[in-house]
Structure 1
Amino acid sequence: MQRSRSGDDLGEDMSEFGVHSEVGDLKKVIVHRPGLEMRRLTPTNAAELLFEDVIWAKKARKEHDAFVELMRSDFDINVMHVHSLLEDVVSDPEGRAYILDRKIVPDEVGVLGADELRAWMDELDPETLVRHLIGGLTVGEMPKGFGVSASKAWGENEFAIPPLPNQLFTRDSSCWIYGGVTLNPMFWPARRKETLHLAAIYKYHPEFKGGDFKIWWGDPPERDRGNAMLEGGDVMPIGKGIVLIGMGERTTYQAVGQVAKTLFDEGAAERVIAAKMPADRASMHLDTVFTFCDVDLVTVYQPVIDSIQAISYYPSDSGLDVVVEKEGWLDVVEKALGLSKLRAVQTGGD
């Protein structure tokens, strides 16, 4: 979350919550420290959980801690951890019920599991509960004599609740767009449960509960939204009422159109520019190929940038006006921001 802006946006009204620029001063941010879920990665399940290999969890935590300390000590950023925020949430009976009512259900854990697991997890202390909500729960970790049929049919290391190692990437499961936030239905099933945790934080944590912001789209997070998928790495509010949204491997036009219409209806944006990219890993998210470093400076991965089709959405009385742009991506963004020149630095090769 950012509060400060740069360039022509400095004079605009800002609330305590929101992201109004890709290059403004960062004031608050939510991060996740690698934990039990990372230790759950194995050569067998890594691909299913969207990792190319297992990681050295201890070293990852050390590097994470160094980065957090840098943000706090050198830049005075308020760094909040998912795990700590969730511990506060589940200390509130309403917050705990919000998560468990949506996570421990027959569709996820079976009929018997929904009853037995729910009762047991309701009694867990906040730290232990959150560790298993993110880190997963194996059959062998259940209390002895609990789930007898499950322990006979499945191995001790099989998951009753799968781990969420991608909770690490907090930018994707929700994204702040000007004065509000979206709760994102993500592309891969392995990631979709992450959004519920962020929703619970925004709804029940004292830092956010009753805050001056809106949930633009994606609520309730457990709803099946079909082909409407959105990930935060594709979303960039860049000022002047403009939002850039990538449509590559992860984010779909069905979601982009709905988000654009909501932002227009709420008066939160004036133009959404979608970047239609090849649906492959090289263009997983817009921020992997196009990143702002300053108000007029970006890094680009040229092979993908050259293939982008820019599509502009505008508000209209009928709902949306959609314009397929004739110019290249960099030219469209440059003109939208009113820049005399958008400087671009190419990144390295493969």
Structure 2
Amino acid sequence: MKPGVYSEVGRLRTVIVHRPDMALRRLTPSNHDEYLFDELLWVDRGIEEHDAFTKILEENGVEVLRLDRLLEETLRSGDAREYILGGVFPGDAPGVSIAGRLKDALMEEEPEILAGYLTGGLAVDEMEIPGMSGIKSRSLVAAAAGPDSYILPPLPNTLFSRDPSSWIFGGVTINPMYWHVRRREALNVSAIYRYHPEFSKSSFECWHPKGDLAGVPPPGYGRNTLEGGDIMPLKKGCVLAGISERTGSGMIENLASTLFAGDEAERIVACDIGRDRSHMHLDTVFTMINEDTATAYPGVLEKSRTWSLFPGDVEGTFRIREEAGLVPAIEDALGIDALNIIPTGGDRYEAEREQWDDGNNVLAVRPGVVVAYRRNARTNKSMEKEGIDVIEIEGCELSRGRGGTHCMTCPVTRDGI
């Protein structure tokens, strides 16, 4: 495999997905807000829906890589274990009384079990790891912990594999994520890209941390955050980026500087969609579905502001041009006369409901062919009227997580247009 993503709609070759797991079973009415979920999923049904989704991808010629299997295979390497556990438990975390013993115990676990802990979590009361019995008599951290306390908190948002990393042209970003409860997701994918044979034997750039897959973004990065739902390679040399609740303008500048310096891009289109839970990423209100067609939620895009960044005269500087809007900017960047926008839903009530249910968050498997949730019937019908082939999947449970088919996939290899 030669990783590289050169568009949003060219033929999709390889994606990473994460099948619903124990982390989602950890969600309860009392903690789902903390983990960024509005509702609880029926996990068994969610697994069925996700399996049907990945089957459709495979039937359309897409190689599907499951993150849990990649992580398990990665953890067969002792170096990978050292790397990832060093990031999970930096210094004396989670307390000097058990830090060393806990890390040593986890180093000896089977890869499948350790991978399960790294995504599904490990509660204090579940610590039946060899060498850790009687932990509450030796550790104040464990003794004082409540029944729902975790040594390793679960990562239920791993379901949305788009966000912790972004493949842009011939390289990847390991994304410094906005919410603390998601930041370890980036560590997991960083270990995979660094140590898994499928990637370690491949040649690719690391755009962030610049030139170094070993770099793990530290906590407390303020507004310098980046998430994959805000990054869309439009064509070779041009990237669309969203300024949102979870991606800051400063991080887009950092990315632009790196891509410009490497002669990988000549233009970044940045669209500020505001900061709102109902549209936390650009791909919740806008996705490309054909070379000259997109689906979008007008209620947000009409209020947005858009700029283009070009390389300045000196490396690390820019020329900034405010655009008349996102649509004219994309038309100019793609060199097309008109970008056909297919709006969400029907009337304003249907449009708001279907945007909430990820009607615009669809995945193109090739130009003009997308996978979408069946429940967004009006948006799907509108796309079909414009000649788009819509492959519908059930998503009654998956959609409760506030992410569609675009969110649930991390493209690793995709053709250009």
Shift of 1:109: 2.0
Q: Taking every aligned residue pair, what percent have the same amino acid on both sides?
A: 42
Matched, 1:221 2:211: no
Matches within 5 A, 1:1-350: 16-72=2-58, 74-106=59-91, 108-143=93-128, 144-148=133-137, 149=139, 150-218=141-209, 219=213, 220-224=215-219, 225-318=221-314, 319-348=316-345, 349-350=351-352
Deviations 1:49-98 (A, max 9, x none): 000122111111111111112211x1121111111111111111011111
Residue 71 of structure 1 aligns to a residue in which SS?
helix
How far does the alpha carbon of each residue in 1:209-250 deviate from its partner, in whole angstroms, 9 at most, with x for none? 031211101351243444210000000001041100000111
Superposition deviation, residue 328 in structure 1? 1.5
Partner SS, residue 198 of structure 1: helix
Q: 1:166 to 1:271 in 2, by over 3 A?
A: same
Three-state SS of the structure 1 residue aligned to 2:257 is helix
Kept in 1: contact 2:176–2:225 (CA 8 A)? yes
Matches of 2:35 and 2:148 in 1, distance apart? Answer: 16
1:107/1:261 CA distance change after superposition, 3 Å = farther
Structure 2 counterpart of 1:22, one-letter code: E
Q: CA 1:41 to 1:108, structure 2 compared with 1: closer, same or farther past 3 Å? A: farther
* SS at 1:22 equivalent: coil
Q: Is the 8 A contact 1:299 1:347 kept in 2?
A: yes
Bigger RCO of structures 1 and 2 (CA < 8 A, at least 6 apart): 2
What amino acid is the match of 2:21? G
Amino acid at match of 2:199: F
Q: Conserved in 2, the CA contact under 8 Å of 1:183 and 1:195?
A: yes
TM-score, normalised to structure 2's length? 0.78
CA distance in 2, matches of 1:153, 1:246: 42
Contact 1:33 1:61 in 2 (8 A): yes
TM-score, structure 1 normalization: 0.92
Q: Distance in 2 between matches of 1:208 and 1:95?
A: 13
Q: Secondary structure at the match of 2:274?
A: coil
Q: Distance in 1 between matches of 2:164 and 2:319?
A: 27
Counterpart amino acid of 2:249?
A: Y
Matched with 2:360 is none
Q: CA deviation at 1:140?
A: 1.0
Return the offset for 1:116: 2.2
User: Partner amino acid for 2:63?
Assistant: N
1:161 offset after TM fit, Å?
Answer: 1.1
Deviation string 1:172-193 (CA, Å, 9 cap, x unpaired) is 0000111100000011111111
Give 2:80's aligned amino acid.
G
Structure 1: give runs of 5+ residues left out of the alignment.
Answer: 1-14
After superposition, what is the alpha-carbon deviation per residue over 1:8-35, rounded to whole angstroms, capped at 9, x for unaligned?
Answer: xxxxxxx821110100111111000111
Check conservation: 1:113, 1:147, Cα contact below 8 A. no
How many residue pairs get aligned? The number is: 335
